[in-house]
Amino acid sequence: AVKIVAGVLIILAALGLAHAAARSDTTGRFFRHRRRVSKGLTNIDIAVDKAASTLISKQSLPDGYTLRRAIESDCQSILDMIIELAVYEKEPESVLVTVGTLKKDGFGKEKYFYGFIAEDEDGNPVGFALFYIAYSTWEGRCVYLEDLYVRPAHRRAGLGGAVLEGLARVARELDCARLVWQALDWNTPAHNFYEKIGALKHPEWLTYRMYRREIGAFLSSAEGQGGGG
């Protein structure tokens, strides 16, 4: 009888451990990832890690999803989602970056962007956000969100809002004056979502751009006029 009871207790204990392991797998994946890449982090990397861990611990993410800092091995997935977003925005031909570009610019000696990766319960990438630190001469540091994308099958679950919460936490952790992004004028669903969460639309500012061709033409003109300095 003692052996039977002991056997039952062992089985129950094993079941309990298995349940606990399954329940904590999402959080465990995040912290194992963070330990693996703990060296050479900037204060921005640390802020991203802290924001992601806070969202996980306070259960701000939809069930079955996790959020973590983007790492170099994510670059192919990031590029795939950049292209998906460009297709949605009707400009797939405008994507010129490559996996190599992303690796160099985001994970090289000098870092020009930072990112979040959202994953489903199987560890598949289902969304991303890329941002960098900009500067306002009026207000100081700001977080500039370049891209936020969630794959169609995973929308309307609150994942986009959770990623924006992560970005807001990064902005607060870095004592930034504001979080800034742009939206296409025809993307009404995005406008409605952003205004619903309290973002302010600025009606007076227009965006101007010079691409490589325009930069080259401008400099050629300036140098031709003796204005190279």
Contact 78, 118 (CB under 8 A): no
Contact 199, 103 (CB under 8 A): no
How many helices and strands (H and E) does the chain possess?
Answer: 8, 5
Which of the following is catalytic: 88, 194, 208, 211? Answer: 194
Residues 6+ apart with CB under 8 A from 47: 169, 170, 173, 174
Task: Return contacts of 177-184, CB within 8 angstroms, 24+ apart.
Answer: 177/136, 177/139, 177/140, 177/141, 177/142, 178/136, 178/139, 178/142, 178/143, 179/142, 179/143, 179/145, 180/134, 180/142, 180/143, 180/144, 180/145, 181/144, 181/145, 181/146, 181/148, 182/207, 184/89
Handedness of CA 106, 110, 112, 114 (dihedral sign): positive
Active site (annotated) includes residue 88: no
Give me the active site residues, please.
Answer: 194
